[in-house]
Amino acid sequence: MTVVGPFGLSVRDQALETDVQAGLAAVEAGLLEATKSEVPFITEAAQHLVRAGGKRFRPLLVMLASRFGDPYAPGIVPSAVVVELTHLATLYHDDVMDEADVRRGVESANARWGNSVAVLTGDFLFARASHILADLGPEAVRIQAEAFERLVTGQILETAGPRDGRDPVAHYLDVIAGKTGSLIAVSGRFGALMSGADESVVDILTQYGERLGTAFQLADDVLDIASDAHESGKTPGTDLREGIPTLPVLRLREMAARDGRPEDLELVALLDGDLTDDVRHAEVLTRLRAHPALEQARRDTIRYAEDARAMLAPLPECFAKAALEELCDAVVHRAG
């Protein structure tokens, strides 16, 4: 059996599958409702990425985490809508910053309507997420605010780059812990918290989400280099072309600085050149795919996924725990 969600997650229990599918369907309806406006153009722009689909990874994690309490508690679906709205809002902003043309296989909002509309649409989604949060209570508002602060801090750190003397890889891992890990951690936390799970369970699923979120982003980094048809709907090598320092590139630079191999130094020089040139971009992509730095990035991904799995050890054995463990496998498989 499979859950309609990221990676075709398999579930060995009919009741769990049925409940999770129902929960995700309710989230989808909630997303469409939350992105409606009295102004038709705003509705069109706000629903642009909702209707483009996506993995709904964060709502799925909310649903699975809720199984350790009351999975039918009223705050579960709204909290899942909040985390996905927040994620969608960041995508609008990211595409402006990255000057992306495609998102989830469709024209990006900034390419279609311009940067100003894309930024304001992201702001609109943040506002709608805050409106829903207000009904979930002050603790939920505080949790989301802290996660949003971490998310923005991660983005600023990425933009500013590592300070002098700071290891670029360590800096980058801090960046993605904020940009990606924080919101996925909140997904696990909201699911457990809204279901009334024990405090220790809430903490475990928060820590699990943090580590899984980092693994998820590292897998994306690997896919940006390794995949011919990028699973996220983005063009392969997009981050490479935009000069975004993803982990495979950072590992390459690390190896070049440490070992000084001429072929590595030559590849770094190519990376530092004009990658808007299609021929140069294709050459760099081909050489990176065969470089040990890509395999090192895969190993880093596996390490974080295994750390996430280890966090689940104290939880009782059940189908939901098995599904959470399978998410770790699925993330690794994406980077394989």
Residue given tokens 């995700």 in the structure block: 24
Task: Say how far apart CA 292 and CA 248 lie, in whole Å.
Answer: 9
Q: Is residue 217 part of a domain?
A: yes
Tell how far CA 293 is from the center of its chain: 22
Question: Model-level pTM?
Answer: 0.90
Q: Is residue 270 part of a domain?
A: yes
Q: Is residue 129 part of a domain?
A: yes
262-297 pLDDT, tens digit per residue, is: 999 999 999 998 888 889 999 999 999 999 999 999
Q: Please check the confidence at residue 231 and state whether its pLDDT lies above 80.
A: no
Q: Is residue 257 part of a domain?
A: yes
Residue 247's identity, in one-letter code, is: L
Task: Say how far apart CA 205 and CA 4 lie, in whole Å.
Answer: 21
Q: Please check the confidence at residue 50 and state whether its pLDDT lies above 80.
A: yes
SS3 state of residue 2: strand
Q: What is the CATH number of the domain that holds 46?
A: 1.10.600.10
Q: Is residue 58 part of a domain?
A: yes
Boundaries of domain holding 113: 6-334
Mean pLDDT of 21-43: 95
Query: What is residue 189's predicted lDDT score, i.e. its pLDDT?
Result: 98
236 in Cβ contact with 227 (< 8 Å): yes
Task: Say how far apart CA 336 and CA 214 lie, in whole Å.
Answer: 16
Q: Is residue 31 part of a domain?
A: yes
Query: What is residue 15's predicted lDDT score, i.e. its pLDDT?
Result: 87
Q: Is residue 162 part of a domain?
A: yes
The helix-helix angle for 182-194 and 199-226 (nearest 10°) equals: 150
Q: Is residue 95 part of a domain?
A: yes
What whole-number percentage of the chain has pLDDT above 90?
Answer: 72
238 in Cβ contact with 100 (< 8 Å): yes
- Number of independent structural domains in the chain: 1
